Structure 1
């Protein structure tokens, strides 16, 4: 829904509460997709998908037909309306009835009921295709939705359940003392919860309409008193309301739907059948309180309230008195309790956020370290800040290439895992040496090793010195490297280096790589491939810069050599530093 064509970016203001327009958006989406499907079937061969979905006239033509959606009167007794810019819930009565003066007087009595735990009747509509009673909208839904919502970030403790029970009892007490006297349709689905976490009893009254409505399903009759189930025409009483209240309280105590924890395999149909049969065994929900600090006295009260004989059930004022006595010394209301819970939750959430933030910082450090190993630090910082990396030209750098001599023969004597361990141990030596010099490792390709000095950070003419010192140190350390599974084999490498200009830049999006381009890279590679084992082969440009500009190194001319793709070139061997032992070069 956040994408085209709806662009629903805003979330509801109230947490865990769906928008009142959600059913309409659902039906609109469903109708649109059905219309697109029809249009594709009819015109998909001649029109593109984009042309079809953007053609409003075509979509409208393909939208003709019937659709059973979330707002369909035929599939749902409740609909959402807006009355005086306020959302109200409409309850459809699927029957035809001639509303006379007596019924109008009764409806006026219903509208006169005003109690904080009774949902207000807004009005009654007789002009539409069906009779419609309008009630105030309670944003948090019914008790069933509260109890079964696993995503509700509220700690449902004993006081929370007590407050819900107390509000429900107070609501029924107000109805029994009102002119209508009887609710007649009490269930957990008709006990609504508003934004202040206050329970409001709804869908009460209208006995003259409910007598002619379609029969309730078995699942809707689970709160109905047994004596009403056994009568051909149900006539609710105050005692039957008490029974319904006991089942609602059982739902709250068990924190689930009625009879859900019972062992009746036939479901609601079997339970209703057994309730009608009046068997010797009392058919009631199993009371299994799931709240640790819950007052066990409620279970005894509930059992008294669902007594088989209506005369044995306590009156609502008795129930109200007992419920009040269970909270002696606790004056705070549910809102104060909710604020306390939210404060505790906020403190817990803050600690959780601090822990997660610390973990995030650590993971970010790891990611930064990994990125700095894959790319130069300056380039990595630009990528993290979202900057575009432009290719950069460097006038003078020195590039290093190395290769393991007779690697193919050596690899043929090893398993794949042994080859990996061999190269990992060898390149660990390379990496440790590079860390001691101003050199950047570009990449490794098999047994070939490529690195450069003078980029991405320019260092004057010191790049050739850094590569020369690194090369000499590598030749000193490589002979000490031992192959565990081939103790008699020796590792030897060829090294080539060349100084010149090149271009460097980041290539790729999925796996970005910092790559070098230019003839300098090719020439350095040729220096390596035309070199000799345990020798440092360098071009004339590198030799000139190293001996004339930098100094302190000893080199020896190799003479003119035919280089593939370059022709005849004069090249040199790097022997070592002045005043130190020199490499033995046999030409």
Structure 2
């Protein structure tokens, strides 16, 4: 028909399936198609599939969107959908079901269809079967959406089935949905009747029951046009049916044709819409009047038609408005709200004023729930109070009783555990006096070690430097650690709160608080035990003055004190109450630690010295307050700071005329110009002036004007910003600088010491043999030693007494010094040792302490000849005409040598060989070298180059007659020959022994133990 009859437009069809088929053809031939009536399927709204279709009816998908919005408005999340295909249009409800299901699922929110049911065709017309089926739906939902046909009285029968099923009550909500309905009236055979009226002569007399049922049934549909104008339009439609080309005269004279069809307005609006689109197309391009796509695109827009306002969207579908109707008390239809639907907007506009207007026939005007309180099956109803809570109450009572018993048991257990814990904690601070061992001083330990001459094995942790016990303090060893004890003269009963305080003190750990170790209560005195700080109190450090307290040192000390105070002020202790330089201890790392805090309960029983009150704040002195306060601690801190800065005792008592009692009196008196310590800076003290102002603020007369510890910490930090806070680093730097200067000084002193040592060694080696001197320097004892063969030399100045008489004492000394210096030079050239000189006597020996075999006789003989030779040229300055002459005696034999005495020790020779050598000298002649027979015999046998001659027999005192010899000279050495022409005194000089011999006679009687000492 489209091809043969050259169709330009298709108006219709008015059913879903034909419209879909025809839409495909229209798309193929590019012919515009305007469906109307019951063609409501969503498929026609697909612009890609049907680009040449514009629908004039209301789509069922849009109805589903409107229904979804209605559910959301009332807060219903679950509803059931039931429908039947019995009636004039069998596919109407099926299509509606699909589109509603699709619309709800597309939103994907809390609203959902809980159940979908289709009534069988043979049962929907049977009211009994319908009632049975409805009863089966009770457990499924409480909100039901229903789709039924308008004819055959199906809606009336359905309402009566609801009554029979007992489903017309406050729990259920029924909503009939349709796009082709006149609401609560039906039109059949041209007669309009209320939907609850029996139209088909069932004669059941239940119209009133049906009407009451419909008062609880809502209708959700699009608005059917009504009013005077639409009535005129309807009459005009009926009249024109008789005109050509319809020519329906006799056939249309039936009563059922006196009222126009429901969709007559849509048919009119479809033709009118095509006309509007065609005009727009012709205006744009007259040649496109058959272009279906162009016609449809020009149909978009809005106009007022006989089916209501027509708004065609870009999908070619109509944007509808749906209405929710219900019956009032008088069974009149009332619009309760409307939903405007387009592709982007869903708006439910309520027409009722309150929920009471909408739910007027419900108990309490309450909105039904989508899930009943008792559940769908009625088995979840709330129990009565007794049913619901009696068991709970009984159980709760039992639980409470049980819990009460448990709490009592737990409380008792916790109390017992707490007591045990307290007992255990008390053991940590309770210290038996038997465990406190008196600490030993290092001085005592060192003295004991010196007596033992053994190495030290005593740990430094077990000894103290110089601390001595006093009436107030003692030092002990506890657990192999030195501790300090604060002694108390009074004995106090320790209460539980006191024990709790000591348990708390035992747990305190802070870098600037000295650790409390415990309390000894079972000894003669009660003592609090504290950790020992090796450098003593801050007062001791200031008094000793062993280290330079520069600005950084002062800052570090004050910072440590205020850090410790700050911890105390923020702890349960609240305040110290007794801050002084005595309780500020210094450990080995120069960290200041506050000690003797807490324990007010025992300190309050102690008598305070007047000196101790010099740190107390004036307000505490006036009130005799021994507990103190935070403000009082700040005042005491300022007094300690003045000590540190001035490097003096508190209030500089040594240089003040006032006594402590007078100072305390002036402090109590107070006034505008209150008495305070003088802040005297030492030399080269670069103290920040702000620190002095801070100290003055801290000892202010008004306690409220004194800064807090937090403020002092902040101010001290600002005074020292940007510099290191490590005191040990500072001390190390000072020590490095001191070490450098000390190294230079030590190096210089070492050089001087080396020079002095060299001089001392030279002097010592001149006094003693080198081997003997080395042993003495090493602290080794020199045992007497026997030498088998040595040669001893004695000499004496002839007529020395006469020469001395001609000289002054000073000249005598100079004479002997010149002579012996000449002799000493000769001795240095020989392997001989000068033992000593006594007056004009001279004693030498060879062969000891260094043994030289038989060389000793040659060395002594050569030396003797050299002595004689040098006298030829020796002159006396003040007696140029006088000549010095000597007598020499030599003997060879064994002797004993050793050191005699501790003070001015002497290396002495003992034995008969010494006596014989002395006799050889005393019995010799001036200018001659007298040899004993042993010496001569050894000399001639070993060194025949020496010339000797026998003297003959001589009577020697203590020896009798001895044969002796003269040493004449040595072959090849004429300078050393003895001048034998000189006249000598008689040979026998038995009564004129030399002083040197007499001295040795006295020393021979000394005991051996003197040598050992």
Q: TM-score, normalised by structure 1?
A: 0.78
Is 1:311 aligned to 2:704, yes or no?
A: yes
Structure 1 residues 278, 585: CA separation in 2 closer, same or farther (over 3 Å shift)?
same
Q: Secondary structure at the match of 2:460?
A: coil
| Distance in 2 (alpha carbons) for counterparts of 1:471 and 1:132 | 84
| Distance in 2 (alpha carbons) for counterparts of 1:381 and 1:198 | 49
Aligned length: 530
Structure 1 residues 255, 11: CA separation in 2 closer, same or farther (over 3 Å shift)?
farther
My pick for the range that moved more, 363-372 or 344-353, is 344-353
Backbone CA RMSD of aligned residues: 3.7
- Match in the other structure for 2:379: none
**Could you report, residue by residue, the CA deviation over 1:284-339 in whole angstroms, capped at 9, with x for unpaired residues?**
22222236353232222212222223233223222211111111111341233334
- Match in the other structure for 1:192: 585
My pick for the range that moved more, 216-225 or 340-349, is 340-349
Q: TM-score, normalised by structure 2?
A: 0.47
Q: Do the aligned residues in 2 keep the contact of 1:79 with 1:89 (CA within 8 Å)?
A: yes
How is 1:350-429 mapped onto 2 (pairs within 5 angstroms)?
361-384=754-777, 386=780, 388-395=782-789, 397-429=790-822
- Match in the other structure for 1:140: 535
How is 1:259-274 mapped onto 2 (pairs within 5 angstroms)?
259-260=651-652, 263-274=655-666
| Distance in 2 (alpha carbons) for counterparts of 1:169 and 1:478 | 89
Is 1:524 aligned to 2:524, yes or no?
A: no
| Distance in 2 (alpha carbons) for counterparts of 1:85 and 1:143 | 25
Q: Secondary structure at the match of 2:908?
A: strand
Choose which of 419, 424, 449 in structure 1 pairs with 2:842.
449
- Match in the other structure for 2:563: 170
Q: Secondary structure at the match of 1:260?
A: helix
| Distance in 1 (alpha carbons) for counterparts of 2:592 and 2:803 | 80
| Distance in 2 (alpha carbons) for counterparts of 1:132 and 1:4 | 32
Structure 1 residues 465, 106: CA separation in 2 closer, same or farther (over 3 Å shift)?
closer
Q: Do the aligned residues in 2 keep the contact of 1:492 with 1:534 (CA within 8 Å)?
A: yes
Structure 1 residues 568, 157: CA separation in 2 closer, same or farther (over 3 Å shift)?
same
Is 1:301 aligned to 2:694, yes or no?
A: yes
| Distance in 1 (alpha carbons) for counterparts of 2:846 and 2:458 | 53
Q: Do the aligned residues in 2 keep the contact of 1:262 with 1:285 (CA within 8 Å)?
A: no
Q: Do the aligned residues in 2 keep the contact of 1:158 with 1:291 (CA within 8 Å)?
A: no
Structure 1 residues 80, 444: CA separation in 2 closer, same or farther (over 3 Å shift)?
closer
Structure 1 residues 330, 476: CA separation in 2 closer, same or farther (over 3 Å shift)?
same
| Distance in 2 (alpha carbons) for counterparts of 1:342 and 1:131 | 42
Q: Do the aligned residues in 2 keep the contact of 1:379 with 1:389 (CA within 8 Å)?
A: no
Structure 1 residues 532, 103: CA separation in 2 closer, same or farther (over 3 Å shift)?
closer
Q: Do the aligned residues in 2 keep the contact of 1:239 with 1:313 (CA within 8 Å)?
A: yes
- Match in the other structure for 1:42: none
Deviation, structure 1 residue 440: 2.0
My pick for the range that moved more, 194-203 or 181-190, is 194-203
My pick for the range that moved more, 525-534 or 108-117, is 108-117
| Distance in 1 (alpha carbons) for counterparts of 2:923 and 2:525 | 95
**Could you report, residue by residue, the CA deviation over 1:231-262 in whole angstroms, capped at 9, with x for unpaired residues?**
34456332222111101111111222112267
Choose which of 434, 446, 460 in structure 2 pairs with 1:13.
460
Q: Do the aligned residues in 2 keep the contact of 1:433 with 1:474 (CA within 8 Å)?
A: yes
Is 1:181 aligned to 2:628, yes or no?
A: no
Choose which of 847, 851, 858 in structure 2 pairs with 1:465.
858
Structure 1 residues 494, 273: CA separation in 2 closer, same or farther (over 3 Å shift)?
same
Choose which of 600, 609, 613 in structure 2 pairs with 1:221.
613
Higher-RCO chain (CA-CA 8 Å, sequence separation at least 6): 1
- Match in the other structure for 1:338: 731
My pick for the range that moved more, 375-384 or 167-176, is 375-384
Q: Secondary structure at the match of 1:336?
A: helix
Deviation, structure 1 residue 428: 0.8
Choose which of 651, 657, 679 in structure 2 pairs with 1:287.
679
Deviation, structure 1 residue 164: 1.0
| Distance in 1 (alpha carbons) for counterparts of 2:966 and 2:520 | 102
Deviation, structure 1 residue 206: 4.2
| Distance in 2 (alpha carbons) for counterparts of 1:544 and 1:111 | 95
Q: Do the aligned residues in 1 keep the contact of 2:927 with 2:980 (CA within 8 Å)?
A: no
Q: Secondary structure at the match of 2:616?
A: coil
| Distance in 2 (alpha carbons) for counterparts of 1:303 and 1:336 | 30
